[in-house]
A = this chain, B = another copy of it.
């Protein structure tokens, strides 16, 4: 009979490609992984791994078994979740991935949850949105909070449950004392093009979703920045705007939370969506449901500032 633990090991190995990496990720020695995979091959009765002294790689049979393993493990996870749902206890370990920009907002609420349920252990990492979906599917995280800057509705990731948490306006972030911030009305295409020609354009590095969305908007209005600075981290960009280094497209909540920055709504409107991803198999797990609930609460408590769209806020209104 095939063993679930070994199938899990096979899956990780299939994803990572080397025994050493698998061992690291699962917290075992490479020797243990090697032995377990060898045992699995004996159980399966067929070679699963091509063993060149250099690198171990999956055979066709191994690849197929890894796919079967996904189904088997999913069925087992469903059963386990159902049992946990019946028990109703919020306990165990929940691994969460969060985009860096939201981690500070979430951390205290998750800490509170953990304090309420001593049996619960929440492990949160910061990961970018692009890698998070695969990581959840791969069971490396139970829950991922990501953002989606695309205009259209977020695509349902194959095999993942998508929970919409909130939708945030993207604003043009300007220094508060900047003359453009004084003008009334939203930032039209012409105004954005003009701004880009006179100001340093601050944006995230290539590969970030916010960068792609910003580039797309600039291309749409036929604007190309004369000077462009790249920085990682939306909060850092907001800080740079405040110091007068330039202007940037930022989520309203972030622009607004930074003293010295004024966010001006765009026309046409631009938004990002904050999503949570879970595996459908863990839906019923009360621990994960509790985490998701807390995250939803945490994000909606910021709702008042998030969808901020006043053209000229009073300077102190962010604190309200």
Q: Does A83 contact B (CB under 8 A)?
A: yes
Interface residues on A, range: 20 to 34
Which residues does chain B contribute within 8 Å of A64, judged by CB atoms?
82-83, 86
Closest chain B CB from A60 CB (angstroms): 8
Which residues does chain B contribute within 8 Å of A5, judged by CB atoms?
1
B8–A87 CB distance below 8 A: no
Closest chain B CB from A282 CB (angstroms): 13
A78–B84 CB distance below 8 A: no
Residue interface mask A2-27, B partner, CB < 8 A = 1: 11110010000000000000000000
Question: Whole-angstrom distance between the alpha carbons of A84 and B2 in the complex?
Answer: 12
Q: Does A69 contact B (CB under 8 A)?
A: yes
Contact A44-B4, Cβ < 8 Å, known A71-B75, A75-B71, A76-B72:
no
The complex is assembled from copies of this chain, and their number is 2
**Which single residue of chain B is at the shortest CB-CB distance from A5?**
B1
Residue from B3, B60, B69, B83 in contact with A65 in the complex, judged by beta carbons closer than 8 Å: B83
**Which single residue of chain B is at the shortest CB-CB distance from A66?**
B79
A80–B44 CB distance below 8 A: yes
A to B CB contacts below 8 Å, 24 in the list:
A1-B4, A1-B5, A3-B3, A3-B4, A4-B4, A44-B83, A45-B83, A45-B89, A46-B83, A46-B87, A61-B83, A61-B87, A64-B83, A64-B86, A65-B82, A65-B83, A68-B78, A68-B79, A69-B79, A71-B75, A71-B79, A72-B72, A72-B75, A75-B75
Chain A interface, >50% SS class: helix
Residues of A within 8 A of B (CB): 1-5, 8, 44-46, 60-61, 64-65, 68-69, 71-72, 75-76, 78-80, 82-84, 86-87, 89, 91
A46–B3 CB distance below 8 A: no
Residue from B1, B65, B76, B86 in contact with A61 in the complex, judged by beta carbons closer than 8 Å: B86
Contact A72-B65, Cβ < 8 Å, known A1-B5, A8-B1:
no
A75–B68 CB distance below 8 A: yes
Which residues does chain B contribute within 8 Å of A91, judged by CB atoms?
45
Indicate the member of A3, A65, A68 with the most B CB atoms within 10 Å: A68
Indicate the member of A1, A71, A76, A84 with the most B CB atoms within 10 Å: A76
